[in-house]
Chain A
Amino acid sequence: MDFLNALVALANFVIIPATAYGAQLALGALGVTLIYGILRFSNFAHGDTMAFGTMITIFGTWGLQAAGVSFGPLPTALLALPLGIAVTALLVIGTDRTVYRFYRENKAKPVIFVIASLGVMFIMNGIVRFLIGVDDQRFADGERFIIRARDFREMTGLDEGLAFRTTQGITIVVALIAVIALFWFLNRTRTGKSMRAFSDNEDLALLSGINPDRVVLVTWIIVAALATTAGVLYGLDKSFKPFTYFQLLLPIFASAIVGGLGNPLGAILGGFLIAFSEVGVTYAFRKVVGYLGPEDWQPEGLLQLLSTDYKFAVSFGILLIVLLFKPTGIMKGKSV
């Protein structure tokens, strides 16, 4: 019985939160990795793109709520998500036209693109703060829990409760759908195949008649969809705050790099690796170990490897270790 309790505690505090967080990171990292693979630069504005998309979705949610529309037990934000994606797609296509296209035509060095993306980051960050402010916004509604801790205890007779929040469940399901759709698109459709060809060998792709403008356009639309979805899921699960989204840049980059930049499968793997390490290293294992030991026994310390404030340090530490041994990430990534 105690072993089961330990397992439930672990699931409650580590496995479920880390899976949800990992799914959010993976979606974010997929966007970063697509831009790196096809447009060939590290987009520093990605965190703020996520924030922008989420902000538009929040506005849509508020509009729907004001009109009395709801999604039953599910959060209304999911209904507003297409609007967020559409507006974000327009924004990123607009930035591509006004900013990045010039450098692409001039064959500028990748690092110039990165610096340009810093400028875009500043502007998007400014727009988001300007429109919605810097405060925390909670916009999750509908049912809060799929399983409540108390119900779980009554159901199973265990001491330890297991809570499974709706937002966590939705995150996992939506992320799964998004990933399947993306891979279907990349592997099965003509446009998706031309994107992969473009990513593998630009010159060859151009020779075989692939329209680069179309590839770039579709890439940005997909990136907008992924970024907005990741941002909305993160916001539903935790809360929306522009500065937090800007800070997500580091774990997202870490995920994409650890997995291998430019490799979509790697981005997913990296996302979960970073999420599980972050949660695992900063979780206090006292309770779990307590269940495994003899009756009424609890270890002295918290058995926490690092304090929670070192989350970013964990993502970066993993990043560094992987890069030292595998300079292009776990699954072979690209290099510009």
Chain B
Amino acid sequence: MSDAATTPQSGNSKTILLFALVAVLFIGTGFVQSWNTALTIFNMGLISAIMALGVNMQWGYAGLFNVGVMGFVALGGLAAVLVSSDPVPEAWAAGGPQVLLGLVLGAMTIVAAILTYTKLPAGRLRALAVVVVLIGGFAIFRTVFDPAVEAVEAVDPASTGFLGGLGLPVILAWPMGGVLAAGAAWIIGKTALGLRSDYLAIATLGIAEIIIAVLKNEDWLARGVKNVTGIPRPVPYEVDLQANEAFLNAFADPVTASTITVKLAYAGLFILFLIALIWLSEKAWNSPWGRMMRAIRDNEVSASAMGKDVKARHLQIFILGSAVCGLAGAMMTTLDSQLVPGTYQPLRFTFLIWVMVIVGGSGNNWGAVLGGFLIWWLWVQVEPMGLMLMQGLTYFLEPGSALSEHLLDSAAHMRLLTMGLILLLVLRFSPRGLIPER
């Protein structure tokens, strides 16, 4: 804190320099590869930056180690489906209300079990009662739920087979994604935040896997691995632009122009959200609330002695950070126009986000954003770079030999290696990241 306070100027100019460097990377991609590619990477960079902001809230502000980012991102994606895709009336008629009834019964079972546990005196009788409630409740839940699910999934499984969504504008799904993720975070936080850091990490890792398992298997919800495609857009479609007389006349190459226009429109929307989030995060960071969070993070015992409710504050920040990840997840699914549960992998959606936060600078919102852009750019570009490297290496080998074929094929895996190396190097030689906490 003291050294940062004495040289605020140099800190700011370094931040500006680093962001300028990232800008050069993206603009360079535009010139060397294509503006389409550059914008594609940029849009995902924006989303990655938002995810990194969410993780930074939990880790940088409060020191909570959440490795379940993927689960919250996936819930955001689910929100996009539930809010914006059209409802399937036949499926609702076939078993919609009964599915909901089943879910309510399932939830009631859990509530009943908790009540039994808290109301009865400790002892063998209580354990037995809880088990009976759980098993009985599960049996009732399955008898109501299973036939309804079967009926719903039987409705035209090739194109629907799920209940559909509310058919509302997709923009509404973004905050909904945040709400859904926040709800999940509340449940996890209530049970797991009392645990020590390593245990919390493994608990969040597990919950993320469960969320993905549900998304993959519960076809009635979001078609499972059959994927929901064609999620509506908040921006115009390329074909509509190309059909527009004025647009056609304005550009020499209307096809490229239309794709770039769409991407720019997405970028504009995402930038608005990102700016709003950074502004809010900075306000929170510099507020008494932010100071309290850092005090808790740096010394839980003394903060608790000063009368701060550590557990409640942890829950609060855990929910906020997860909500931001959910928001980013909904945005990503909107950008892709589809929800593909099979693509949610922890290496990509949890651990890579962590690399972004650590490399960018934990405890600094600008650092997290920088890390988001920089690491995402690298993640995409390391593959062609690896291929170039391998082509360089195999230049000296006999073309078509087993070794050179193998080297060329495995170039794609260079990115994991690179990311690990970057994480370790930064953690070792610049543990506070590129833009350290002020």
Contact = CB atoms under 8 A, between A and B. Distances in A.
Given A42-B201, A123-B416, A319-B203, A336 B421 contact: no
Interface stretch (B33-41, B189-197, B281-289): B189-197
Nearest to B224: A309
Interface stretch (A124-132, A148-156, A161-169, A184-192): A124-132
A284 B213 CA distance: 19
Interface of B is mostly: helix
Contacts of A123: 416-417, 420-421, 424
A313 to B, nearest CB: 4
B217 A309 contact: yes
B417 A133 contact: no
Given A126-B420, A309-B216, A336 B198 contact: yes
Contacts, number: 134
B192 A119 contact: no
A121 B192 contact: no
Contacts of A122: 347, 351, 355, 416-417, 419-421, 423
B302 interface: no
B205 A250 contact: yes
Nearest to B357: A115
A127 B358 CA distance: 22
Contacts of A335: 196
B427 interface: yes
Given A123-B424, A130-B414, A310-B217, A111 B198 contact: yes
A45 to B, nearest CB: 9
Interface residues of B, number: 45
A129 B424 contact: no
B61 interface: no
A131 B206 CA distance: 29
A205 interface: no
Nearest to A42: B198
A110 B197 contact: yes
A131 B416 CA distance: 13
B206 A312 contact: yes
Contact of B410 (A118, A133, A324): A133
Interface in A306-325: 307, 309-310, 312-313, 315-316, 319-320, 323-324
Contacts of B351: 118, 121-122
B358 A316 contact: no
B417 A126 contact: yes
Contacts of B409: 133
A293 to B, nearest CB: 18
B209 A336 contact: no
B237 interface: no
B414 A121 contact: no
B195 A327 contact: yes
Interface in B404-438: 409-410, 413-421, 423-424, 427-428, 431
Interface in A86-132: 99, 102, 110-112, 114-116, 118-127, 129-131
Contact of B413 (A112, A129, A250): A129
B216 A257 contact: no
> Which 10 pairs across A and B sit closest by C-beta, in order of nearness?
A122-B420, A126-B417, A316-B206, A126-B416, A123-B420, A119-B423, A129-B413, A119-B424, A42-B198, A312-B209
Given A119-B420, A127-B417, A336-B198, 18 more contacts: A42-B201, A111-B198, A118-B354, A120-B424, A121-B420, A123-B421, A125-B420, A129-B413, A130-B413, A249-B205, A257-B199, A312-B209, A313-B210, A316-B209, A320-B191, A320-B206, A323-B195, A327-B199
